[in-house]
Every structure is written in C-alpha cells, then in structure tokens.
C-alpha cells in the first residue's frame, strides 16, 4: 500500500482523460455475473428456496416510529434530512420553537431539543432543512402566514432568522438540481406552486403546476431526483379528512414540467387502523441504496399526528410505496461497511498507510490513506464525507482498491474547484477532471462537509457530489474492491463513510417484504437468487423468465391466513400463454395460468397459505415464457352470504356519505343533490356475486360499488385560511374511492374504475327508464367482471390491472334512487 500515493499523483498528471460523461443508467444485478444474454439459462436456474423462518432472524419495527402520545404533542408534516450519515427530523411546531430528533437508522429517534427558539419560528408549519456549503437553511411558515428562512451552522441549531417575510403559501420545499439551480415549491389552492431561486434566501418567478391538482387544496410538495427522473410527491384535501392522501408526478425533462401518473393515489388509507395519511418527505435509506417515505398519520386524539416510514421502490417512471404498514416490517439495513469517525469509535478493519492528523474529527496527515479490509466483489454504492482540506492540498475517496496497481480515486481540489477522478488498472492510470457543481456561482468551501457518492454498476461508475450527478465513466476495467480515504499534499479530516453491495435499488432483494391485510407489494426485480435480464415494456423494467426458471422472494407475513396473489406480467402475444407454479418455503402450492397477452395484464390466484413470520415465496414457470413487473400478496377473508336488512333502522354499513334513509323496507337517497355512497362487508373479500334491486326516479345514475376500499369525501375546514371553506361534500367526493362502479343510466349500463377519479371501462346499450325496478347482478371473479340486468348479460370485462379485494355497496350521483334486496354470495 506504500505505493498508492505515488501512483495516485502519477495518474493525475501523466495520463489522458477518460471518455465524456453520460447520465443514462439502468437497474443492475448486485452480483458480478454476466447479464448480457436475452434469456437466462434454464439449466442453471435456481431452485425454490427452503423455509427461511428459522434460518435467519431479522430485526423488525412497527409504525409509528415516533408517537405523539409518547412525545406529548403532535408530530405533523415530518421532514427528514440526511447529513453525514445521520438523519434529522423536524415537525410542525405546536407552539414555541421547532423540535428536532436524530437517528442513524430512521427507526430509533433521540430528541435533540429545540433547534430554534427564535420567535419568528413560533407555530412554524412544515419546517424543512437543507444543507449547502457549510450552512443549514430552514424554511417554514409560522402559523401559515408567509415564509421565513432561518440559518444555522448545525442541523440541531440554533437557527436564526435570516430574512423578512417572503410571503407565499405554506409548506415550502427546496430542490437543488444537478446543474446547481435551486427551486422552491409551496402549497396552492388547486395545485402546487413552483418558484425559481436566485439564492438560498430569494425566490423569483413562479408557475402553477396544474398537473398536481387534486380537486381541492394541495400541499406538502417535495422533489427528488433518481436514476434520470424527477419525482414530485404532494398531498391533498384537508389534513383532518380521511381522504388526506399522497400523489406523485414525474418528469424526465426538468423539475418545472411534470407528467401525471396513472398510479395515484400513491399512499392512502381511510381505515380505522391508520388514516389521515399525508405530507411526506423522501429520503435515502441507511444502506445508501434504498429510499424511504416519511409521512404522518392522525391519531384519534384531535390534531395529534404520528410519524411513519415505508420503503419506496423506483421502477422506470413508476414510484411505489411498500405501505402503508401497521404490522411488523424489517428495520432498514445499514451499509455492509460504515464508520462515523466519531470520538471513541474504534477503527477495527481499517488499514492506515501514513499517519493520523491532529485536526478535529478523524484526520489524516498529508500523503496518508486509510482503507477498509472489506472487499466488494460485485456492484456497490458508497458515500464519503470530507470535512476539511488544508490549504494547497487535495483529499477524497479511494474506491475499488485491490492493490497499489488497481484502484480508483476521486479527489476534491479546492484550488481549481475541480473533482479529479483517476482509474488505475495494472499500474496504468487515466484521469478525468470535472468542474464542481456551482450553485449561483458560489465557490465550494472546504472547511465544512462536502460529500462524494459513487455507484458501481457492472463496469460503469457514476459519481455524485452532494447527491447531485457529476458524471459517469463507462466500461472501466477496474474491478470491485475496498473503499477508503486519502489526503494528498495536505492534512484533511473526514466524516461518515459507508458502502453497501447493491446499486439501483437492488438491495430490496435481501429485504423481507411485508404482506398483510393492507399491503403486499413485491417488485419483480427484487428476487434473491439467480440471474435474470430485464427488458423495457412501456417504460417499466420487467424481469424476464422462461420455462424452468424460478424467482424467489423474501416475505414477512403479518398473519397466519390465506393470501390472495396477483401477478402483473406480459407474454410474447395473445397466443403465447404460460403456466406458473407457486411454492412457499420450497413446497409446491398451486399452478397459476398466465393467459397470452401483448401488453401488461394480471393473473389472480387465491388461497396461498402462509403462517405468520418469515418465508420465501417462489414463482416457477412450468411452461412458456413471461416477463413480470410485480406481484402482490394480500391477506384474504372468506366471503360469506350477506343479505342487507332494510327493515331495521340500522343496516350494518361500514361507511356512508350522502342523504340516505331507510324506510318501508328499502334504502333511499334523496335531496339536492341526491349523491352518495354506502359500503358494507370487509375490505379483504375477493370473489363474490352482488345482486340488488334498483328503482331510479326521473334522473338515472345509480348502481353498486364492488371491490371498494378507502372511501371518503372532500373536506375543507372553514378555519383553514389557505383552503376553500366548505363542509364535507358527498357530491364533490363521488369518485373518492378505489374500486369498481357498475351502474345504470339512461339507455345504458356502465362499468367504471375509480381511483379518486373516474375511468369508464365499458358500456352497453340498454333500455333503462325512470320509475322502473331493475335487478342488477355483478359477478367478480379474478380479474373478470360480468354485469347482468334482469338476468341478461350486458358486460363481460377482464381488467388488465384489477382490484382484487374490497367491500360492496351502493352509489348514486344526482339521482334520487331506491335500493332493495341487496345480497352478496360467494362464488362456487
């Protein structure tokens, strides 16, 4: 190792620069295996994995990670900032000052007191803190009346006010792009407002992002950049409404121009167990490869809110949250190698070449290096934090170190304001110089933390400074190896360093995915063993599998029960069907037929038995070929016969909105407008038949809801200054439910899908007149829905992306209607 410093300097001065930077990136396998073949070799396909419930015990946690009951005050609008390997949490102020917590793993939080006692921050809404060039900037809107910027030298404060009232609406959030430009986003009456920034304390031109409209008050924006895409999350409706929820939009162009997602709401729950979900922040996980959503939910105690976290999975333009969760889930992984370099921390596993310095923190003398003995053999993601560089020198990261003739370095040069990347293979070095990111032409300082992030993906290395993309070096001949720090020509001090053997989110393969009655997402590319290529279909990366191949996934079942399985896939065409076998802990469960398809479609299989705890579920193609986007496992409840008794004052509904009444043995809705919905049964019921007699009045727009979840209405509190004051409105909230609507209208039968919007799937002509009673029957089986009126089949429809569970109920829109003889029965 004594030659490393000499080789490094030689590489900086004697060898030509590498190829130009490119910003493209694709998810990759976490091993060093070759994935260039189009189809994985069936002869070498992995076997189904055995029972893992006793083989490895994982550490778990249960939401909320921070409770208002325990802390003694509300924890609304949580924002988490990651700095130097640790996390800092800030919430809306309950009165005087802004509270702060610290964590190393996003789960266990320690209270750090008030980060500001400045009176200008009293009652501060949604404080957010951003680190830049040695300073921490806090943005908050005290009591919702304009914005102020506060500045501190520490994430725990004290923050001092640095501006006057800048105006604007609540929930200000900052995003710094890869080119160093700053943006500011705030809430709006019908859409998020976006501003450009000329400095960390000045907002200039603004625009309304109409694509973020949620049909009412919209707030809580945040933008993150990941793998070539901008993702904005935001929240809508009043925070005291059950329908408070999180949506998202994406962009590949700029943080000012977004496209709507057809996967909204991103996160919602109107259940008793967890509700009023909203106002999130998104943060990189402790393992440096994952991302987590931090959000609040409301307790049953007035305004009090709790803090929750769930894992995010990015897949092309898709952003999915593996939540909400109220059952055990795996604690976020720490990196495979990490050291905080704090006082009293041991340096076991580190090899020093040279000597330690005398400056504060962990420091190295000029010409010294410190390299960990852990060696990565495949892909990895690493982060380095440089705390200071003395005058005239350079310092930075060592990566993929094998020996003195094979390693990489990424150095900060304060004098030239460049990042110098050197690749040395078999003693031959090439060097690339990249200008540091300049935000508003401000010189980058080196008496404070500056970070380097490096992603190794096959032979490609992507470099980031402070999480903003610098460049990519493609087709490097440098293999994997160790990580470390180096001080060149001058003393330097360092902070947190860490690395994990995953890149592009593939660390999710080792994580146990929670499956419960509320969620059960299993992204297809998070398999644990084997090597499968991916292909792009409609901008979504899909795992390719063929006859004989097996995909294994780790899951954590919340209950001992039967679970419903859905598999989103596509085949080569409508004539190319396949058969998939399902195994649990190596034991065969059942076959699932995959019908031929040109695009994405979904197969539904019910009755997957699981005991509570850790398992591996395996999917093996028995015949044919298919590509998979995702699987989902949801705890199921058996469907039992149900007949609603409208002869009593109470009909056993589990949700209702609108002006309903029970009289003369029937259920009726009237008023102006005669609009509402009313639900029965259990959210985890799957296949069933629903029958009901419907008698419309002169206006005809009424029917039933099936597989319905998360119902609600609009709500704007009259005391909420920024909102449009109104009460709960069943009329405005007609489409605020997830499920299917099957209805009759004048001269037609309708099948529509609702996900806090209304998408008509199919219609059929029919002779429907007011004052006549019709018997509507809906048969829900797997992804197929059949609709009968008076025993005549009008609609036979198979949904490519179906809801597979939910309640049943009735729904009208501006149409006085009477319902009778409401019955639900199991199929088969």
Confidence of residue 36 (pLDDT cuts 50, 70, 90): very low
Confidence of residue 715 (pLDDT cuts 50, 70, 90): low
Structure tokens given for 701: 């727009």
- Mean pLDDT, range 441-454, rounded to an integer: 93
- Give strand pairing partners of 397: 410, 485
What distance in Å separates the CA atoms of residue 153 and residue 304, rounded to the nearest whole number? 31
**Residue whose C-alpha is closest to residue 286's, from 251, 320, 336:** 336
**Phi, psi for 126 (deg, rounded to 5):** 45, 60
- pLDDT for 30: 30
- Asked if 509 and 287 count as a contact pair (C-beta separation under 8 A), the reply is no
- Asked if 255 and 177 count as a contact pair (C-beta separation under 8 A), the reply is yes
Whether 580 has a pLDDT exceeding 90, the answer reads yes
376: left (phi over 0), alpha (psi -120 to 50) or beta: beta
Confidence of residue 502 (pLDDT cuts 50, 70, 90): very high
- Give strand pairing partners of 271: none
- Mean pLDDT, range 308-332, rounded to an integer: 94
- Asked if 490 and 366 count as a contact pair (C-beta separation under 8 A), the reply is yes
**Phi, psi for 500 (deg, rounded to 5):** -135, 145
Lowest-pLDDT range, 299-313, 370-384, 490-504, 727-741? 727-741
CA-based max dimension of the chain: 94
Helix (H) or strand (E) holding 69: helix 68-71
In 3-state terms the chain splits into helix, strand, coil percentages (rounded to 5) of: 5, 50, 45
- pLDDT for 717: 44
Give the residue, 36 or 271, on which the prediction is more confident: 271
400: left (phi over 0), alpha (psi -120 to 50) or beta: left
- Asked if 395 and 419 count as a contact pair (C-beta separation under 8 A), the reply is no
Whether 366 has a pLDDT exceeding 70, the answer reads yes
Whether 341 has a pLDDT exceeding 70, the answer reads yes
- Asked if 369 and 357 count as a contact pair (C-beta separation under 8 A), the reply is no
Q: How far is CA 431 from CA 10, 367, 473, 476, in A?
A: 10, 19, 11, 12
The dihedral over CA atoms of 786, 791, 794, 799, expressed in degrees to the nearest 10, equals 0
Whether 32 has a pLDDT exceeding 60, the answer reads no
Whether 414 has a pLDDT exceeding 80, the answer reads yes
Residue 611, preceding peptide bond in cis (omega within 30° of 0): no
pLDDT in tens, 109-157: 999 999 999 999 999 999 999 999 999 999 999 999 999 999 999 999 9
User: Model pTM?
Assistant: 0.92
Three-class secondary structure of residue 438 per DSSP: coil
Confidence of residue 207 (pLDDT cuts 50, 70, 90): very high
Strands 701-709 and 807-812: antiparallel
- Give strand pairing partners of 467: none
CA 720, 722, 726, 728 dihedral sign is negative
- pLDDT for 26: 29
- pLDDT for 302: 60
pLDDT in tens, 663-714: 989 999 988 789 999 999 999 999 999 999 999 999 999 999 999 999 988 7
Whether 310 has a pLDDT exceeding 50, the answer reads yes
What distance in Å separates the CA atoms of residue 603 and residue 208, rounded to the nearest whole number? 40
Three-class secondary structure of residue 565 per DSSP: strand
Structure tokens given for 442: 């401000």
- Asked if 252 and 229 count as a contact pair (C-beta separation under 8 A), the reply is yes
The structure tokens 């898709």 sit at: 318
Average pLDDT over the chain, rounded to whole? Answer: 89
Helix (H) or strand (E) holding 8: helix 4-14
Contacts of 402 (CB under 8 A, 6+ apart): 375, 479, 481, 482
**Interior/surface letters 18-57, b for 16+ CB within 10 angstroms, e for the rest:** beeeeeebebbbbeeeeeeeeebeeeebbebbeebbeeee
pLDDT in tens, 557-578: 999 999 999 999 999 888 999 9
pLDDT in tens, 632-649: 999 999 998 999 989 888
- pLDDT for 442: 84
């Amino acid at each position: 190792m004594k030659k490393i410093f000499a080789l490094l300097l030689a590489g900086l001065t004697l060898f030509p620069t590498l190829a130009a930077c490119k910003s493209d990136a694709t998810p990759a396998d976490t091993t060093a295996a070759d994935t260039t073949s189009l189809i994985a070799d069936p002869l070498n396909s992995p076997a189904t994995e055995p029972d893992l419930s006793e083989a490895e015990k994982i550490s778990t946690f249960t939401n909320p990670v921070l409770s208002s009951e325990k802390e003694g005050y509300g924890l609304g609008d949580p924002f988490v900032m990651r700095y130097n390997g640790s996390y800092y949490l800030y919430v809306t102020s309950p009165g005087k000052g802004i509270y702060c917590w610290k964590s190393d793993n996003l789960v266990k939080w320690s209270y750090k007191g008030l980060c500001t006692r400045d009176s200008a921050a009293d009652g501060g809404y949604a404080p957010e803190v951003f680190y830049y060039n040695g300073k921490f900037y806090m943005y908050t809107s005290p009591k919702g009346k304009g914005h102020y910027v506060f500045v501190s030298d520490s994430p725990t404060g004290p923050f001092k006010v640095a501006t006057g009232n800048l105006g604007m609406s609540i929930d200000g959030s900052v995003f710094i792009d890869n080119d160093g430009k700053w943006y500011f986003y705030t809430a709006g009456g019908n859409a998020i407002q976006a501003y450009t920034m000329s400095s960390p304390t000045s907002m200039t031109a603004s625009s309304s992002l109409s694509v973020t409209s949620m049909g009412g008050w919209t707030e809580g924006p945040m933008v993150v950049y990941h793998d070539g895409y901008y993702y904005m999350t935001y929240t809508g409706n009043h925070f005291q409404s059950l329908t408070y929820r999180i949506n998202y939009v994406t962009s590949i162009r700029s943080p000012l121009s977004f496209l709507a997602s057809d996967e909204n709401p991103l996160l919602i729950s109107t259940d008793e167990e967890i509700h009023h979900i909203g106002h999130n922040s998104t943060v990189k996980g402790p393992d440096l490869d994952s991302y987590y959503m931090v959000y609040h939910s409301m307790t049953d105690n007035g305004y009090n809110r709790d803090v929750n976290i769930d894992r995010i999975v990015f897949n092309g333009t898709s952003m999915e949250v593996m939540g909400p969760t109220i059952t055990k889930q795996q604690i976020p992984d720490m990196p495979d190698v990490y050291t905080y370099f704090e006082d009293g921390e041991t340096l076991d596993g580190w090899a020093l070449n040279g000597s330690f310095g005398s400056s504060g923190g962990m420091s190295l003398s000029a010409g010294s290096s410190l390299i960990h003995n852990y060696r990565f053999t495949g892909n990895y993601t690493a982060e380095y934090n440089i705390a200071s560089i003395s005058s005239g020198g350079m310092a930075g990261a060592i990566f993929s170190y094998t020996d003195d003739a094979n390693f990489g370095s990424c150095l900060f040069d304060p004098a030239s304001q460049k990042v110098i990347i050197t690749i040395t293979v078999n003693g031959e070095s090439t060097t690339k110089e990249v200008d540091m990111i300049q935000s508003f032409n401000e010189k980058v300082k080196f008496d404070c933390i500056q970070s380097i992030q490096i992603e190794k993906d096959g032979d490609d290395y992507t470099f980031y400074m402070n999480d903003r993309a610098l460049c990519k070096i493609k087709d490097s001949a440098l293999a994997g190896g160790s990580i470390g720090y180096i001080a060149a020509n001058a003393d330097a001090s360092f902070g947190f360093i860490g690395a994990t053997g995953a890149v592009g989110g593939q660390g999710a393969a080792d994580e146990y995915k929670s499956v419960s009655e509320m969620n059960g997402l299993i992204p297809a590319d998070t398999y644990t063993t084997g090597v499968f290529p991916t292909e792009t279909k409609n901008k979504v990366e899909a795992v390719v599998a063929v006859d004989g191949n097996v995909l294994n996934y780790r899951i954590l079942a919340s209950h001992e029960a039967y679970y419903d399985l859905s598999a989103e896939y596509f085949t080569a065409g409508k004539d190319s069907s396949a058969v998939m076998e399902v195994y649990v802990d190596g034991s065969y469960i059942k076959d699932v037929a995959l019908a031929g398809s040109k695009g994405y479609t979904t197969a539904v299989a019910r009755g997957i038995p699981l005991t509570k705890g850790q398992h591996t579920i395996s999917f093996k193609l028995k015949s044919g070929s298919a590509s998979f986007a995702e699987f989902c496992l949801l705890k199921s409840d058996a469907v039992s016969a149900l007949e609603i008794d409208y002869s009593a004052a109470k009909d056993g509904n589990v949700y209702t909105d609108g002006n309903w009444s029970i009289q003369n043995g029937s259920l009726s809705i009237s008023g102006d407008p005669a609009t509402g919905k009313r639900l029965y049964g259990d959210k985890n019921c799957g296949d069933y038949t629903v029958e009901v007699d419907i008698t419309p009045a002169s206006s005809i727009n009424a029917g039933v809801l099936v597989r319905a979840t998360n119902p609600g209405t609009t709500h704007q509190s009259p005391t909420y200054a920024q909102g449009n004051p109104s009460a709960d409105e069943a009329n405005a909230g007609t489409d605020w439910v997830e499920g299917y609507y099957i209805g009759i209208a004048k001269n037609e039968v309708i099948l529509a899908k609702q996900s806090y919007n209304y998408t008509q799937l199919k219609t059929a002509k029919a002779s429907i007149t007011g004052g006549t009673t019709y018997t509507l029957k809906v048969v829900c089986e797997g992804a197929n829905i059949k609709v009968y009126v008076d025993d005549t089949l009008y609609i036979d429809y198979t949904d490519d992306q179906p809801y597979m569970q939910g309640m049943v109920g009735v729904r009208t829109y501006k149409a006085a209607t009477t319902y009778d003889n409401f019955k639900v029965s199991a199929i088969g």
